[in-house]
């Protein structure tokens, strides 16, 4: 069985994904709110929330053996 991911790798994956995802979130926020300050606040808040959720989700899945060889 493959070794589980390290915490540093999980953090790097979370930051990488959420950074690109936040650009899409910012674009949608701009279409909805049309205000730069509101969009930045919304994007940063969702970035931090999703970063924490992704980290926990990835660590949990790393513990599940289903589907691993």
Which pLDDT band holds residue 2 (cuts at 50, 70, 90)?
A: low
Within 8 A by CB and 6+ apart from 50, the residues are 18, 21
Q: Are 11 and 59 in contact (CB under 8 A)?
A: no
pLDDT band at 9 (very low <50, low <70, confident <90, very high): confident
Average confidence score pLDDT of the chain = 87
Q: Tell which wins on pLDDT, 35 or 2.
A: 35
pLDDT at 65: 86
pLDDT of residue 14: 85
Average of pLDDT values for 41-69? 89
């Amino acid at each position: 069985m493959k070794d589980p991911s390290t915490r540093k790798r999980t953090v790097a994956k979370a930051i990488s994904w959420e950074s690109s995802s936040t650009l899409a979130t910012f674009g949608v926020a701009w279409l909805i709110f049309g205000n730069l300050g509101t969009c930045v606040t919304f994007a940063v808040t969702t970035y931090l929330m999703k970063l924490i959720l992704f980290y926990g989700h990835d660590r949990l899945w790393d513990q599940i053996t289903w589907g691993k060889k």
